[in-house]
Amino acid sequence: MDLDLGRDEMVVVGASFGSLRWFDQELPAGSVVLVEEPDVIRRRGLERYAAELPLVSRLVPAGYQTGLDVDALLAREPGLAAARLVVPGMEYAVGATARLAARLGLPGAGLPAADIFSDKHRMRLLADATGLANPAYELVDDPARAAEFARRHGGRCVLKPTRRSGSLGVQLIADPAEIAAVWAASASPPAPDEATAGLPTEVLVEEMLAGSEHSVELLVADGEPIFANVTDKRIVGGRFPVESGHTVPSALPETEHRALRDAAVRLARAAGFRSGMLHSEWILADGVPTLVECAARMPGDMITALVSIAYECGFIEAYLRVLRGERPALPARPTGAAAVEFLVAAPGRVTAVDGTRAALRMPGVLDVQLDVAVGDTVPELISSAYRSGHLLVWGAGPGEAAGAAREAADQIRVTVA
């Protein structure tokens, strides 16, 4: 990647270890200033981590998750005014990033869109106002109201916090009588990486929909969509709908591709989204794209890598160029397909990990990463942070890529006591 970045010319708000490791391989040394919450710096040991990354010139402590005082930050750190682009490193930094970018006159999501896409209830209200399909929903403040909602909608529902990501706190409820016992998991979700401890949230209860699940990755430059991809999503069964895999491009027919892309564009325009990436998630319920949620940032779960492989392009580079005010050219269609399959181990203490070499020898496998080792403890799978690794696979088409990813994942066995 050649972005011609000088020292301190890129500000990243919010530390995502995965993104920072990727940036460190691609961007010049000293080009990034990392802004993070003081408590998060302490809990995650970020001073030591940042010191090991050549691209990070310095680490700036600043509270931003519940509101960033941009003027106070710039008064304390006047060097930030030299930035050429500002990037949200994680979900909880979207609003702060938009405010800093606006103050510096740089491209970004725009303040109204950033606030909407940082709160799942605001997204629902926008979708209603725009005429996009929504499940029935209600903002609730106690389990009794959620249980009453579920009884009105066939005895099942989805509970979710309005301000969390990575499926954290999202629960599929099959019996209203269970809600009181599990309420806290959505109202006060645990923080797997301690980055969200104490972040306030409300609770949405929603109608449970049936249908295939997909996402749309939309790149927007100054209000104009310049690229759109549709991804197929797979989730594990059970109460916690954690994603178990993705395939790019979707195997859907072109008519449904178009319907999903059109819905994502309508959502972006209704929010007044200006520049950056939108990752919206949808369920095709009776063939109609119905909104699940939307994030005004890069998607996680290796989706950016899948797009780069399937379209033979530098997707993250294109995103950064948009935030520099450019309009990069991207392929209109993929040349192949790519899939990621996540490894899901049973809870317990890991006693053996086998099959990695066998998986690497499978056709199409590009990479295998194990996030657990013998002696580690695997917790219950309540969010994407608790998966045990992943495989990245190429294929000539989406069916071939997804099938190869599942076959390769079957070679790996994580044994727990």
Tell me, what CATH number does 224's domain have? 3.30.470.20
Residues 265, 332 within the same domain:
yes
Q: Does the residue 395 lie in any domain?
A: yes
- From 206, 221, 245, the end of a domain falls on 206
Q: Does the residue 127 lie in any domain?
A: no
Please list, in sequence order, all residues whose beta carbon lies within 8 angstroms of the beta carbon of residue 75, skipping any fewer than 6 positions away: none
Looking at beta carbons, which pairs linking 79-84 to residues 24 or more positions away fall under 8 Å? 79/8, 79/33, 80/8, 80/11, 80/33, 80/104, 82/8, 82/9, 83/8, 83/9, 83/10, 83/11, 83/33, 84/5, 84/9, 84/10, 84/324
Q: Does the residue 19 lie in any domain?
A: yes
Q: Mean pLDDT for the chain?
A: 94
Tally the domains of the chain: 3
pLDDT at residue 10, rounded to an integer: 97
CATH code at position 63: 3.40.50
Residues 342, 380 within the same domain:
yes
What whole-number distance in Å separates Cα of residue 32 and Cα of residue 101? 15
Q: Does the residue 111 lie in any domain?
A: no
Cα separation values, 266 from 101, 263, 305, Å:
24, 5, 26
Residues 67, 15 within the same domain:
yes
Q: Does the residue 119 lie in any domain?
A: no
Residues 157, 226 within the same domain:
no
Q: Is the pLDDT of residue 104 over 80?
A: yes
At 244-291, the pLDDT tens digits run 999 999 999 999 999 999 999 999 999 999 999 999 999 999 999 999
At 74-83, the pLDDT tens digits run 999 999 999 9
Residues 100, 83 within the same domain:
yes
Q: Return the minimum-mean-pLDDT range out of 76-85, 191-200, 402-411.
A: 191-200
At 22-32, the pLDDT tens digits run 898 899 999 99
Burial 354-389 (b: 16+ CB within 10 A, else e): eebeebeebebbeebebebeeebebeebbbbbbbbb
Strand-pairing partners, residue 140, are: 203
Q: Does the residue 256 lie in any domain?
A: yes
At 130-183, the pLDDT tens digits run 999 999 999 999 999 999 999 999 999 999 999 887 788 899 999 999 999 999
Domain that residue 64 falls in = 10-106
The closest of 299, 280, 274, 324 to 108, measured between CA atoms, is 274
Residues 186, 223 within the same domain:
no
pLDDT band at 41 (very low <50, low <70, confident <90, very high): very high
Residues 246, 395 within the same domain:
yes
pLDDT at residue 201, rounded to an integer: 85
pLDDT band at 387 (very low <50, low <70, confident <90, very high): very high
Residues 45, 157 within the same domain:
no
Secondary structure of 257-298 in HEC code, one letter for each residue: HHHHHHHHHHHHHHHCCCCEEEEEEEEEECCEEEEEEEECCC
What ranges in 80-227 are assigned the alpha helix state H? 94-104, 111-116, 120-130, 143-152, 179-187
pLDDT band at 2 (very low <50, low <70, confident <90, very high): confident
How many CB atoms within 10 Å of residue 151? Answer: 13
At 295-319, the pLDDT tens digits run 999 999 999 999 999 999 999 999 9
Residues 382, 294 within the same domain:
yes
pLDDT > 70: what percent of the chain? 98
Q: Does the residue 36 lie in any domain?
A: yes
Residues 374, 251 within the same domain:
yes
What whole-number distance in Å separates Cα of residue 242 and Cα of residue 233? 10
The closest of 367, 370, 386 to 378, measured between CA atoms, is 386
Residues 393, 244 within the same domain:
yes
pLDDT band at 198 (very low <50, low <70, confident <90, very high): low
Q: Does the residue 115 lie in any domain?
A: no
* φ/ψ (deg, to 5) at 212: -75, 150
Residues 288, 353 within the same domain:
yes
What whole-number distance in Å separates Cα of residue 168 and Cα of residue 396? 33
- From 166, 189, 206, the end of a domain falls on 206
The answer to whether 29 and 6 have CB atoms below 8 angstroms apart is no
pLDDT at residue 191, rounded to an integer: 65
CATH code at position 152: 3.30.1490.20
pLDDT band at 18 (very low <50, low <70, confident <90, very high): confident
- From 91, 106, 121, the end of a domain falls on 106
pLDDT band at 192 (very low <50, low <70, confident <90, very high): low
